[in-house]
Structure 1
Amino acid sequence: MGSKASRIRVGLLSAVLTAAASASCLVSPASAGTADQLNASQIVADMGAGWNLGNQLESTIDGTPGETAWGQPVITQALIDKVKSAGFKTIRIPVSYLRHIGSGPNYPINSSWLNRIQQVVDYAYSRGMHVLINMHGDGYKNVAGSWLICDSSSQTTIRAKYQKAWEQIARRFQNYDQRLILESMNENFDGQFGRPTQPCYSNINSYNQIFVDTVRRAGGNNGSRWLLVPGWNTNIDYTAGNYGFRLPTDQFRSPSVPSNEKRIMISVHYYAPWDFAGEENGKITQWGRGSTNPSRKSTWGQEDYLDSQLKLMRDTFVTKGYPVVVGEYGSIDKSSFDSSNNRYRADFARAVVATSKKYGAATVYWDNGHNGQYGFGLFDRRSYAVTQQGIVSAIMSGLR
């Protein structure tokens, strides 16, 4: 399905690390209101349309994260307000930690970095939006300083570091209500796109279990918070099929949560067919039953495939009380090769959102901040203009 590296590097404008903006006015969670305790179907409906603040807090130079490291401007309240005004109700904020984590045994996270993460969270949280934060780039072998490596021989050290990191993150956000969702990791796998391997998958399951146990024990609202966990590379087949994914137990969940409810969500990503959604050439530019040129349409991955994939997630998880979040989806801009391409990008986005809703899943569009050839951008992060209103409108129509 293509590497994440090819997605995150679309639109890099510079290789100069700029220090993260200082956190001088963090919002008190109490001042932002308190969300009701929502069950599985309610939380998915309440999340509405989602948007990724990609290529920002997970961007890095030589293993040190910084929000402008890949050429994006400093994140502002005005940008988040624009995203909300466009109709989005959920923002996923990918976060890398890497060399902002100190040495063991306590593995302290740089306080300035945590402050900045909290400030960006507050931009959305204070506006009543749902916010997802994760541990994003720490598990990529091709990222300098990566350490959350499932086929490493240093699993004892990895697990200790992972536990300490999430303990600090969860405590920092313990007073935020249910609109803040924590995601254990991003696309963790062994780097090969074939069948999952063991014991690597077992290690991923262990990370998810450590994450759930650690967050639940961190106090405040963490005992009842919705937690998001992925399977192998967030791949639908390798998560829902018989390949080794194991749901974490939730033994430390707050007794205030009804016994018949879950508070764990399952994370998957959707970029199929990759030759349309992500492959950087001008060959496959159309998608779906409305396409007009068979030579520009992939031979697979059309509406029937999308339906079967989301139905599989529904049957495997949603019917058992575990909501599904399609935490990334989208397709790159190939309009320079085919002037009709943006129409099919909109069709694709509408179909992913509508099909996900049909099967009880929430969706979060992948925006990497880049507009133009091969970009996923929906907004100009400097002027705050909407750059792909057709896709935005398609996303919103998919929810109706």
Structure 2
Amino acid sequence: MFVAGGTTAAAAPAHRSVPSDPMAAVAAMQPSWNLGNTLDAIPDETSWGNPLVTKPLFDTIRAQGFHSVRIPVTWSGHQSAGTPYTIDATFLTRVKQVVDWALADGLYVELNVHHDSWQWIANMASDHDTVLARFNATWQQIATAFRDEPRSLLLESVNEPQFNNATDAQKTQFMNELNTSFHTIVRQTGGGNASRLLVLPTLGCTPDQTLMDNLSAEMTSLHDHNLVATVHYYGYWPFSANIAGTTRFDATTQQDMVDTFARMRSTFVAKGIPVYVGEFGLLSYPDYTQPDAVERGEAMKYFEQLGYQARLSGVTTALWDAGSFLNRTSFQWRDPGLFAQIKSAYTTRSGTASTDTVYVPKSGAVTAQTLTLNPNGARFLGLWRGTTPLVPGRDYTVAGNQITLTAPELTTLVGNRAYGVNATIQARYSSGVPWSIAVATFDQPVLSAATGTGSLSVPAQFRGDRLATMEARYADGTNAGPANWTSYQQFNTAFSPDYPHNAITVLPTFVNAITDGSPVTLTFHFWSGTTVTYHVTKSGTTITGTT
């Protein structure tokens, strides 16, 4: 048997008590975590930057309060491309070892067919019979290999299924065909598979009402009580990707979340069908290899409310983690405060505020600043700096949900007003985690002229500020860039701040999309509220920037 890092092979998995009622069983899986970018990595387990999985990883996940793990697996690179589509025995043994480690920790496990969805399953419209034959052969082998595992193992037919060059009617047909075939094959292998909980996705795992209605009808037609619906949720797309100027967890973004989870409840949960949100998160946050595309405080609000909406709707949620939340080498959370917010949201609400940073100008008199508290049903207890409470009436005042930091207190907090964060205070509430508020000194950022080939590194003195977004327009006012339907371009796709090297990079995706010889005005928006304009012109492969 494959042994990673000298770890011995797994003992027989723990046969934990699993409720017979599917709703209760899926509820017992909350909260859940994804072993992302590992066994689903292409071509091999470590190809996407994560280390080999060892048993201590699951020990950590269990100790951190998770009750289940989703283990995505891409099988195609370990399977013959032609009939009989044999899965490599060594790889199958390795997958089983990892699954058994998690089961031995008393965790529920959800196992799937992952990136195969776009690698070959997507070709169903043009090569229907071959795709179906390979899909059936794949599941025949997986189901046989895992037939005797305990009921705490769940099987998911396919991750985010998609179909190239297919009509909507064909997509619905193919989706039903795959789910039905998966159901038949797994059940016929017998053993634990005869009554195992089987997880069926919507097209793309999208929580669209029509797609969920299609899945609900399909599940009803199967006449099987032990079925689970799965969808994914990455939030309102403009916010999740930081595009079109949607930099805040605003009313539109919040309503998208409220409506989506309400649809899950009315379509499935209210009918007795459990829902497993197999992936949740934000598309662009966090990514420890890049600057934060979504501002941290706005992301914290998102995760706080998502936990609440999941509880209201009665669904189980699996955090997508490709290595950006948990460091798989040290087994430490890369951002403990963020994880604390996510973990708290599984059971209670936390108060937040309109911002997590108060910006104080470098020069001039320090003036009082007001924030809006968002108690989320909790009671505001006061402000603290470390273990020291700030004094109401002297250091801050409260009027309704408005809290004002007084000028004398801000003067104390910023000290000598060095650029950047000078102090951090906390708003504490009667439940959940405290809300951290950084107090930072800033001046208007200064950009300098530059020339580049293919991309442009703009020298930038950030002077204590942080970049929120970038607008781009031609001289006639029309939008410039790859997302030409909006003036606000996508963070880390069209542009990206490079704080360690004091630069803003205008990325090749943006440069390639603008018209040769046509000047473009860029407007950089910073979190202090400051804006800075910059002008770029492309000539062949050269791009020039001026202030």
TM-score (norm 2): 0.58
1:347 is aligned to: 301
Contact 1:330 1:345 survives alignment (8 Å): no
Residue 218 (structure 1) aligned with residue 180 (structure 2): no
Residue 235 (structure 1) aligned with residue 206 (structure 2): yes
2:78 is aligned to: 100
2:358 is aligned to: none
Contact 2:39 2:72 survives alignment (8 Å): yes
Match of 2:263 among 302, 312, 325: 312
Residue 247 (structure 1) aligned with residue 219 (structure 2): yes
1:389 is aligned to: 336
Return the offset for 1:392: 2.2
Match of 1:43 among 19, 22, 25: 25
Contact 1:201 1:245 survives alignment (8 Å): no
Contact 1:50 1:90 survives alignment (8 Å): yes
Give the whole-Å Cα distance in 1 for the aligned partners of 2:190 and 2:214: 35
1:296 is aligned to: none
* Secondary structure at the counterpart of residue 228 of structure 2: strand
Give deviations 1:188-222, integer Å, cap 9, x for gaps.
12369xx9722122111100101111111112111
Residue 301 (structure 1) aligned with residue 253 (structure 2): yes
1:13 is aligned to: none
Match of 2:51 among 70, 73, 96: 73
Contact 1:48 1:90 survives alignment (8 Å): yes
AA paired with 1:107? Y
AA paired with 2:78? H
Residue 199 (structure 1) aligned with residue 165 (structure 2): no
1:201–1:51 CA distance, 2 compared to 1 (3 A): same
Return the offset for 1:53: 0.9
Which stretch shifts more, 149-158 or 131-140? 149-158
Give the whole-Å Cα distance in 2 for the aligned partners of 1:77 and 1:285: 39
Return the offset for 1:282: 11
Residue 362 (structure 1) aligned with residue 320 (structure 2): no
Give the whole-Å Cα distance in 1 for the aligned partners of 2:77 and 2:294: 43
Contact 1:20 1:113 survives alignment (8 Å): no
Give the whole-Å Cα distance in 2 for the aligned partners of 1:27 and 1:337: 41
1:327 is aligned to: 278
Give the whole-Å Cα distance in 1 for the aligned partners of 2:135 and 2:294: 46
1:287 is aligned to: 249
Give the whole-Å Cα distance in 1 for the aligned partners of 2:162 and 2:293: 36
2:354 is aligned to: none
1:25 is aligned to: 9
Give deviations 1:238-280, integer Å, cap 9, x for gaps.
42256997337446x6xxxxxxxx211111111122233245x
Residue 272 (structure 1) aligned with residue 235 (structure 2): yes
Contact 1:269 1:328 survives alignment (8 Å): yes
Unmatched segments (≥5 aa) in structure 1:
1-18, 141-145, 254-261, 290-299, 370-376
1:340–1:272 CA distance, 2 compared to 1 (3 A): closer
Contact 1:357 1:399 survives alignment (8 Å): yes
Contact 2:286 2:292 survives alignment (8 Å): no
Give the whole-Å Cα distance in 2 for the aligned partners of 1:21 and 1:121: 13
Match of 1:58 among 40, 51, 58: 40
Name which structure has the greater RCO, CA cutoff 8 Å, separation 6+.
Answer: 1
* Secondary structure at the counterpart of residue 55 of structure 1: coil
Give the whole-Å Cα distance in 1 for the aligned partners of 2:157 and 2:84: 19
Give deviations 1:297-343, integer Å, cap 9, x for gaps.
xxx321x2212111111111112221111111112138986799323
Return the offset for 1:27: 3.2
AA paired with 1:183? E
Give deviations 1:5-58, integer Å, cap 9, x for gaps.
xxxxxxxxxxxxxx99599624323xx124234313312321011111111111
Which stretch shifts more, 171-180 or 196-205? 196-205
CA RMSD of aligned residues (A): 2.9
2:524 is aligned to: none
* Secondary structure at the counterpart of residue 383 of structure 1: coil
Give the whole-Å Cα distance in 1 for the aligned partners of 2:15 and 2:178: 32
Give the whole-Å Cα distance in 1 for the aligned partners of 2:215 and 2:95: 34
* Secondary structure at the counterpart of residue 50 of structure 2: coil
TM-score (norm 1): 0.77
Q: Which has the higher helix share?
A: 1
Larger Rg: 2
Return the offset for 1:158: 1.2
1:390–1:245 CA distance, 2 compared to 1 (3 A): farther
Return the offset for 1:126: 0.5
Contact 1:86 1:392 survives alignment (8 Å): no
Contact 1:379 1:385 survives alignment (8 Å): yes
Unmatched segments (≥5 aa) in structure 2:
348-547
Contact 1:134 1:184 survives alignment (8 Å): yes
Return the offset for 1:68: 0.4
Contact 2:32 2:318 survives alignment (8 Å): yes
